[in-house]
Every structure is written in structure tokens, then in C-alpha cells.
Structure 1
Amino acid sequence: AKLMTQKIGYPEFITNSTELDKEYEGIVLHPDKYFENGLENLKHYALQEQLKLRSPVNRNRWVTSPAVVNAFYTRSKNLISFPAGILQPPLYHQNYPRFLNYGGIGVVIGHEVTHGFDNKGRQFDPNGNLQSWWHNDSLNRFQARAECVVQQYSNYVVPDLSIPLNGINTQGENIADNGGVKQAFRAYKRWAEKYGPEASLPGINLNHYQLFFLQFAQIWCGISRPKAAVHTVRVDAHSPGRFRVVGTLSNLKEFSEVYHCPLSSPMNPQKKCEVW
């Protein structure tokens, strides 16, 4: 975790005209040839990819463009990246209360960090090399905990479609979701204990800890057509948004405490899964 490289916002070279020109050197564009311009771009980037084959790994190079609304963990580089596109509402704003930022982008950061220790990330060492570097005891305990998560999510069924989730295909993202929320909440709680209470949101009778979890749930609020939902369940490495919320928070005792969920209720089951 300490050796993770961080990429936040955008690469520095795009603010330097000379360096930016080098990035697009060799591309010939024509104002009246849209399709051909697209091919020129594809050829240029294909060549750039080929040149990497005999070159040392550039750990400073970004894996995505700044405008992307997403975040990434790159196993082969032990790299986390948060493009400028995701550093905006509803996930983050410089004037948001901390409980919203921690419940938004804070959870995303925790999610990507946890990917370094999920079922795939754990196979890469601190320098991004694919090798077995854990002790067998640690690996056995990890697999037992991961299996709990697999079984938990495999028991979820998409409403109205009667399709169960695939807990095996989604285990990496589920592990990252669970770890991300837990670490972000601990981070916010530590901040609140150090700096004291913030102003609350008007008209909402919830405390800051409750609002943290509400913000996390808001991120995954959405709707999809039935065929799209079926496609998500069958091929996506992520669980549908509903279960990213329910599955994660029902495992977290801190959620049950701040929302006063009775033991053995749906959001506070006696058996909880915990990997990290």
C-alpha cells in the first residue's frame, strides 16, 4: 500500500505545449476528413503501443485520459489513478462537507486501494510483478474470507428478473467495495474526532455518520432496462448498484450501529463477511 503510485487529475505534460506536441507527433489531420482522421488516431496509438514492447515499463505514464469519469487500479504497476473527470459532484466538491466527500470520492479511493489486495491484486507483488509473495497461512485465510463474499453475493437475486448474481465473477469488485467503504468511514471518523463536528445539511434529520453512508448509497442510485440488467449480471465484473450498497453495508457493523439496525434484520445479519 505504501508503494502504490498515485495519479490524480491529469498528467503534467498536458500543460506544457512542447511536451503535448510530442504526444501527437506524426499525426496528420485534415479538417474535411472525419473518418480518415479517426484512422490516423488509431494508427498513431497502435504504433505507440507497439513501441512499448521493447521498452522498459514507464511507471509515470497515465493509463487513461483526464476526462474519464472513472478510477483505476493497475495491478502490473501497483498504481491508483483518479482522473479529473471523477473529481466532481456527486463524488467530490471542494466546498462539500467532509462527510459527503469521504462518502463519495473517499469510498472510491478506498475501493481502488483495496483492489491491490483482492483475489487478483494479491497475486502481484509491491512492484507489480506477477508472483506468489504471500505466506500460505495468509493465503488460506484470505481464500476462506473471500469465499464468504462469493456465497453472500451469489445468494442475491435481481428483483423482477429472478436472476442470481455471479459471486465468483464479481468477487474482486465486491471485496473492493467492502474494503473501500470501511476504510473511508474510518478515515472520516478519524478526521471528525480530530477537527470536530461540521455544519449539517438543512432539512435532513440525520447525523454526519448516517449522511456518510447515505452519500455512498446515492452514488449507486440508478435504473436500467431489463435486458441491460441481464447483461450486467452475466458479464459485468461489478454487482448491480443495488447490491453494491446492500451487500456492502450489511457487512459493516458501523452502519448497523449508526442506523440502529436490530441484530438479524436484513441490514444487520448475524453472519457478516469481512476480507479487509
Structure 2
Amino acid sequence: MTREIQQSFREILEETTWIDKDTKRLARDKVDAMALRIGYPDSILDRCELDDRYKDVAIDPNLYFENTLNILRHLTRVEQSHLGTPVNKSIWNTAPAVVNAYYSRNKNQIMFPAGILQPPFYHRYFPKSLNYGGIGVVIGHEITHGFDDKGRLFDRNGNLHRWWRDEAVAQFHERAQCIIDQYGKYVVDEVGIQIDGINTQGENIADNGGIKQAFRSYQKWTNTYGDKDETLPGLNYTGMQLFFLNFAQVWCGETRPAASRNKLKTAVHSPGKYRVIGTLSNSVEFAKVYNCPLGSPMNPVKKCSVW
């Protein structure tokens, strides 16, 4: 799926008209060079390597606080041991059980720990609509981070380097501003606070790009294998509709008002509700699949698009 969605990004890049040929070529090189880390590092299965890695950590089953301090000291020693050495791009900087995904700008690397490779994001026996609408969008999201407001500043090797032409930079900022303005108008009713469109622009750009890439890949899959098994019992939805439905379901959640206020001031992600509304209202494919009339809230005439 990751390789398929990378290919979808390449195709979208080729169809993009606001980027010059030289910048496109370098962007293509960057996505080609993107390293994949999926599941867990090999060292997890090597007992000797694991024992050696944690040999200086003292753990006592009766001392929670002290154990935490010992682990933090160990992690600090590991970090300090890397000072003055070349960047080791094979090291995982997260635990396999974490339910999250990452893009590393200075490694040009995308990482999907085992923790996120489960429902509602993914299951090997799910209809493909749910997998592409779940983990597929996450994969596209992380790929797009390589080309968001911060990721685009780093080249294929993870070096901070100005590789975009000035004209492409200006065009990018114009499209990013549309996203900033769109999300900046959303107000979280529970606390009466607007979303910070500038703070959240990178994640919003990644959400909007990710869903396009994943949907394109899902369409290719159905064109090859058909969609006869793409429905769910008791639900009268097509596979294409289930794709968007699972994307939306992934972001269902509850947040207390105090936490909402804090996140709206500090977090780089928009609240889940607006990750869904904002992304899908920019999606031509969503409007077509769900027959949203042009000019309705989920199918506005003016849509924002970066990737």
C-alpha cells in the first residue's frame, strides 16, 4: 500500500501545473528516496541485541517512579552517545506499540509502528475501502509531510536546503494561505475558540494531500480487482462511500473543554471534527461519491488544494 500511495503522489505531482519542471524533478527524487519503516525494527526479535541495549537499565518491580527515572537516564545517555557521529537513519525513534505515524524531515523517512496497524486503521481481512480510508490516508498524510510548509525546506537527503525555485515557493504560499484561511474560520463551539490556521497548516496540508493519494490508489485497486466484496453487512454503502466513512470514523473522539482550549493554543493538529470537515469539503471525489450539490457546505464552490 505504501508503494502504491507513493506512486499516486508521483502521478499527482506530474499533473500539478503550478510547479516548474526542475522543482518537480527534485520532488520526484525526494519521494523516490523516502525510506520506509513499517511495524518494528529487526532488533526487537534479537534477544542478545535487546539485552545489550538495556543492560545499564535497573528495573525494580516495586519502584515505579525510580524505574521511570532510570529509563529517562538511559535514554539521555543513548542520545548523548550520538553527539558528533553521523546520523544513523536506521534507528527507530519510537516504540512499536505506539498508535501513531511519523515523517522525519532530517531523515526523509516515514514510519508506521505496529500499534497503528490495527482497527480502525487497518486489518488484513477488512474490505480494502476501510484499509485505504484508514491507514491509506495516514500513509498519504506522512508522504505529504515531506512537501508541507516545513518538510519542503529539506531535500531528499534530509538536509536543510533551498531546492525550490522562487516561482514555485510563491505558488506554494498562495495555496497554503487558502488552507490557513479555511481552517482559521472554524470555531470549536464547545469552547468558542477559533482554530489557529497558521499553527495547523502543515497537518491540514498533509490531511488534504493524503486523502487524494489514498483514494486514487483505492480506485486503481477496484479497477483491477472489482468491488463486489467492498460492502459491509447491514450497511447500504458502496466501497467508495465506505472509504470516506472510515476516514471520518478514525477521527471520532471526545475531548474535555479544558483539553480543547489547551490544544487549540498549542497543538499542530486541528480537532478531529474539523480534520474531517475541512478535508472532505475540499474533496471533489467526496462530493461526487456522496452526491453533495455544488455550493452546499460539504461541496463549496471554492476549494483549497496544495497537493
- Give the TM-score category using the shorter length: over 0.9
String of CA shifts for 1:145-191, please: whole Å, max 9, x gaps.
Answer: 00000000011111243211110000000000000111100010011
Match of 2:116 among 78, 86, 100: 86
Indicate how the Cα distance of structure 1 residues 157 and 79 shifts in structure 2: closer, same or farther if over 3 A, else same.
same
Match of 1:130 among 143, 160, 180: 160
2:280 and 2:39 map into 1 onto residues whose CA distance is: 29
Match of 1:252 among 278, 283, 286: 283
Match of 2:262 among 231, 238, 241: 231
Counterparts of 1:88-107 in structure 2, within 5 Å, are 88-107=118-137
What is the TM-score normalised by the length of structure 2? 0.88
Identity of aligned residues (%): 57
- Listed as ranges, the gaps of 5+ residues in structure 2 are 1-30
SS in 2 for 1:213: helix
2:184 and 2:62 map into 1 onto residues whose CA distance is: 53
Q: Kindly indicate whether the alpha-carbon contact (under 8 Å) linking 1:119 and 1:172 is maintained by their aligned counterparts in 2.
A: yes
Alignment correspondent of 1:206: 237
Worse-matched range after superposition: 211-220 or 29-38: 29-38
SS in 1 for 2:253: coil
Task: Considering Cα pairs closer than 8 Å and 6+ residues apart, tell me whether 1 or 2 has the greater RCO.
Answer: 2
The code of the aligned residue for 2:37 comes to: K
Alignment correspondent of 1:121: 151
Q: Kindly indicate whether the alpha-carbon contact (under 8 Å) linking 1:97 and 1:198 is maintained by their aligned counterparts in 2.
A: no
Match of 2:300 among 269, 273, 276: 269
Number of positions where the alignment pairs a residue of Structure 1 with one of Structure 2:
276
String of CA shifts for 1:35-78, please: whole Å, max 9, x gaps.
Answer: 33322222111111001111111000001010101000010100
Q: Kindly indicate whether the alpha-carbon contact (under 8 Å) linking 1:110 and 1:183 is maintained by their aligned counterparts in 2.
A: yes
Alignment correspondent of 1:71: 101
Counterparts of 1:170-249 in structure 2, within 5 Å, are 170-199=200-229, 200-249=231-280
2:62 and 2:296 map into 1 onto residues whose CA distance is: 63
The code of the aligned residue for 1:275 comes to: V
2:69 and 2:191 map into 1 onto residues whose CA distance is: 41
The code of the aligned residue for 2:260 comes to: A
Alignment correspondent of 1:110: 140
Alignment correspondent of 1:148: 178
The code of the aligned residue for 2:93 comes to: V
2:300 and 2:157 map into 1 onto residues whose CA distance is: 39
Match of 1:35 among 65, 81, 88: 65
The code of the aligned residue for 2:76 comes to: A
1:26 and 1:124 map into 2 onto residues whose CA distance is: 36
Q: Does 1:61 align with 2:61?
A: no
The 4+ residue runs of structure 1 with deviation greater than 4 A are none
